[in-house]
């Protein structure tokens, strides 16, 4: 099976398969005499594992850990659970961050006429116009570097 077939069978693009090999997430594929990569059913299994983990938002680093645990017959499920729960926490942190942005914007937009007139609380807020009630008190600016999640 060459890389195109492996890609179709796993749902991982050929580009990404090469990339994953390059960065060491997956081992180097064996080659034909002419240099074409060759994949086995087992390789496709691994690629599917990677795609599912990717779909769940795991980073390459986390996938490396997960792949190692997957291959380790003597693994402790607590190790897997720890990674998963850490990721869930990161997802929830990110969601809260987005929620806060969305809430602020929705509030501002709800007070915006949205017609031909130029007055707009959204622009006003961004410009820092103190017009009485403030929507963003501020404390969500330095939310830290919780960017482990999401591309």
Using CB under 7 A as the binding rule, whether residue 101 contacts DNA is answered as no
- Give the 3-state secondary structure of residue 103: helix
* Binding of DNA by 16 (CB under 7 A): yes
Residues that bind a second copy (CB under 8 A): 11, 45, 48-49, 51-53, 55-57, 66, 69-70, 72-78, 80-82, 84-85, 87-88, 91-92, 94-95, 98-99, 101-102, 104-106, 108-109, 112-120, 122-123, 125-128, 136, 140-141, 147, 149-151
Spatial separation of the C-alpha atoms in residues 139 and 92, rounded to whole Å: 18
The correct pick among 10, 26, 43, 54 for binding DNA (CB under 7 A) is: 54
109 binds DNA (CB under 7 A): no
Question: Buried b / exposed e across 94-126, counting CB within 10 Å, b at 16+?
Answer: beebeeeeeebeebbeeeeeeeeeeebbbebbe
Site residues for DNA, 19-38, by CB under 7 A, read 19, 29, 32-37
- Judge contact between 56 and 151, C-beta under 8 A: no
Provide, for the chain, the percentages of residues in helix, strand and coil under a 3-state DSSP scheme, each rounded to the nearest 5.
55, 5, 40
Check residue 142 for interaction with DNA (CB under 7 A): no
Question: Which tokens belong to 122?
Answer: 């959204």
Region near DNA per CB under 7 A, out of 52-60, 85-93, 107-115, 130-138: 52-60
């Amino acid at each position: 099976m060459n890389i195109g077939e492996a890609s179709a069978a796993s749902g991982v693009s050929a580009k990404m398969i090469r990339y994953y090999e390059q960065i060491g997430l997956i081992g180097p594929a064996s080659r034909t005499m002419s240099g074409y990569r060759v994949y086995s059913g087992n390789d496709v299994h691994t690629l599917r594992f990677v795609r599912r983990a990717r779909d769940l938002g795991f980073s390459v680093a986390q996938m490396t850990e997960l792949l190692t645990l997957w291959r380790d017959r003597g693994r402790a499920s607590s190790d897997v659970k720890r990674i998963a729960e850490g990721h869930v926490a990161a997802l929830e942190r990110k969601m809260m961050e987005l929620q806060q942005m969305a809430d602020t914007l929705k509030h501002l937009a709800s007070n915006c006429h949205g017609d031909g007139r130029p007055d707009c609380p959204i622009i006003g807020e961004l410009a820092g116009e103190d017009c009485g009630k403030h929507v963003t008190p501020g404390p969500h600016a330095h939310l830290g570097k919780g960017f482990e999640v999401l591309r």
